Amino acid sequence: MNGSARVIVGMSGGVDSSVAAWLLREQGIPLAGLFMQNWNEDGGGECRAEADRRDALRVCGQLGIPFLARNFAAEYWRGVFETFLAEYRAGRTPNPDVLCNREVKFKTFLDEARALGAEQVATGHYARIDRHEGRWRLLRGRDPGKDQSYFLHQLGQAQLAATRFPVGELPKTEVRAIATRLGLATARKKDSTGICFIGERDFRDFLSRYIAITPGEIVDPAGVVLGRHPGIAFFTLGQREGLGLGGMRGRPQAPWFVVGKDPEGNRLIVDQGDSPLLASTRLRTEAMHWVAGEAPPLPLRCEAQVRYRQAAQACTVQARDDGGVDVRFDQPQRAVTPGQSLVLYRGEECLGGAVIAATDAPLDPLRHTCP
């Protein structure tokens, strides 16, 4: 590259990164596009990596910017996939997108961009960055339906200083309209969903290749056996699909939901309807990551999300001696899931987040650790 590109755009082969690159080019910024291959094809399913690479190459050609490709599969395996498997083995439900952003897109990719002589990276994430009172802030994207700050909460000051989110100021509809007007190859391409390394294959078949899966009993809260499950790793709190418990004699017609997991007994616990067993008002986390580099004064009144696209929930945050936090919500929350991420907000600013370790839900085996 000879240091000619000031910004390298992570080209995913989707419409968002395509428009992000165009917006920066329109500002006259010297650019290059880089496609990251984060998973080596294993013959078990289509991950669309090659099709995405071709689309990224076509868009770079249309925009007249250099195209690069790098294979980060080894880094992805170590930084993301091994943790993904360990969490499922422990009976928890991980969020690989958060780890991918922290370990690959804003670590490995950023390091590679700097090695190529670039000053910054850019991606098609729907989020914003500004500088306030001497610190960089991570802000929600302008489009509330597409805001991705939840997945970016592990970024810190160094990453934000070296990152741009060009589409964060735009609604998705305008991004599509720009791509269509320009005739970009990705203008009508559907948004990717799910986890890339699984692709369109069956999740159960995929996971069974990497961790030991043992079928077991499905029981109600009283311990009455209702059926069999193919493996508790395939289920998460609040899940309705895949239980196969419809139309049971002597039971109401209300749907069944997963309300607890008993890893030691290999039992899946289910209940019907809006079960109080899924409700919690308190949780504790593992060690917090604060975007500002240090914690704000605690205790803190703010808002939180325990899953992507959840409406912000008012809460009080208390510090823990182990670096985590205790959170008490003003209103009960449904199906708060250990292994997922708690992300804290103050208005549009993302303060940081951490992995949920335990809740005070009645069937959480670690509920006694939530004061």
| CA–CA gap between residue 135 and residue 160 (Å, rounded) | 10
**Structure-token pair, residue 368:** 């006694």
**Residue indicated by tokens 């997991």:** 261
Write down the catalytic residue from 100, 315, 350, 370: 100
Active-site annotation holds for 370? no
The DSSP result for 205-273, as a single string, is HHHHTTS----EEEE-TT--EEEEES-GGG--TT--TT----S-TTS-SSPEEEEEEETTTTEEEEEES
The beta-strand segments (E) located in 38-173 are 67-71, 120-122, 127-132, 135-140, 163-164
Active-site annotation holds for 60? no
| CA–CA gap between residue 49 and residue 53 (Å, rounded) | 6
Sign of the torsion formed by the C-alpha atoms of 22, 37, 194 and 329: negative
Task: Render the burial of 31-55: b for 16+ CB within 10 Å, e for the rest.
Answer: bbbbbbbbbeeeeeeebebeebbeb
Residue at 342: amino acid letter: L
**Structure-token pair, residue 271:** 């209940």
Closest CA to 293 of 140, 162, 165, 154: 154
Write down the catalytic residue from 47, 60, 196, 315: 196
User: Could you list the active site residues?
Assistant: 100, 196
